[in-house]
Structure 1
Amino acid sequence: MIIKSSQTLVSEALKEVKTITADEALKLSNEGKCSLIDIREKGELDKMGRVENSNHIPRGMLEFWLDPEGPYFKSGKLDMSKDMVLFCAGGLRSALAAKTLKEMGFEKVSHINGGFAAISQSDFKII
């Protein structure tokens, strides 16, 4: 049995998903062209703050909350017609999550290189 490392999984995901910078994400957000999705855990948000105008969907619930046929679907939580821009603390979990959303059939998905660390160094407002 061969077990892939988490590093290998992230590396494979990065080859398949669109990666954008925090500044590119801010531009999309300011233009109303994307839904920013923060997949960090609640404790991370409590400790480091939230990104203004972002939607919090914990990584563990992402697929369930975005599955229109599933019992946990959060109708109206996101504008599903807009680009989905995911971020986590550093960009690893969001790469894996973006790959999963693509596998589910979502086409307009990207993630922010460097995650919240990069966002906090940009012009995004942290609340």
Structure 2
Amino acid sequence: MTIKSSQTLVAEALKEINTISSDEAYEKCNKNECNLIDIRDVRELEREGRIEDSNHIPRGMLEFWLDPESAYFKQGKLDLNKEMVLFCAGGMRSALAAKSLKDMGFKKVSHIDGGFGALKESKFKIT
């Protein structure tokens, strides 16, 4: 049996999804054009901090919380008509997650290059 490596999956996802910089994400947030979604594990948030005004959706629950047909759908948590801008710690999980949302049918999806590491060095406020 041959399986694809996680690096291969990320490389394939990056060819299909929109990647933006932390500065581009900051502009989208300032213009209220997106849902900024932190998909890191809760332990990462506790250890590293959070981006002010971001929405936390654990990676394992993302598809379920954003599927109106799912029992786990979070009605009213996000504006489903706005762009979904995802980030994780470094950008690999968010690349896979962005591809998954695209596969679900979301048209406006991006992930932030460099993830939380890049956001810490940007204009975003850490809480």
Q: TM-score higher than 0.5 here?
A: yes
1:12 maps to 2:12: yes
Alignment match, 1:103: 103
Alignment match, 1:49: 49
What does 1:1-127 correspond to in 2, within 5 Å?
A: 1-127=1-127
Counterpart Cα distance in 1 of 2:96 and 2:11: 9
User: AA paired with 1:24?
Assistant: E
Counterpart Cα distance in 2 of 1:79 and 1:120: 25
Paired residue total: 127
Supply the RMSD in Å over aligned alpha carbons.
0.4
Counterpart Cα distance in 2 of 1:77 and 1:44: 21
- SS state at 2:10 partner: helix
Where in structure 1 do 4 or more consecutive aligned residues deviate above 4 Å?
Answer: none
Counterpart Cα distance in 1 of 2:118 and 2:41: 17
**How far off its partner does 1:2 sit?**
1.5
- SS state at 2:55 partner: strand
Counterpart Cα distance in 1 of 2:11 and 2:124: 27
**How far off its partner does 1:73 sit?**
0.3
Could you tell me the percent identity over the aligned residues?
69
- SS state at 1:43 partner: helix
Q: Deviations over 1:68-106 (max 9, x none)?
A: 001000000101111000000000000000000000000
Q: TM-score, normalised by structure 2?
A: 0.99
User: AA paired with 2:51?
Assistant: V
5+ residue gaps, structure 1, are: none
Counterpart Cα distance in 2 of 1:89 and 1:78: 21
User: AA paired with 1:97?
Assistant: A
Q: TM-score, normalised by structure 1?
A: 0.99
5+ residue gaps, structure 2, are: none
User: AA paired with 1:95?
Assistant: A
**How far off its partner does 1:58 sit?**
0.2
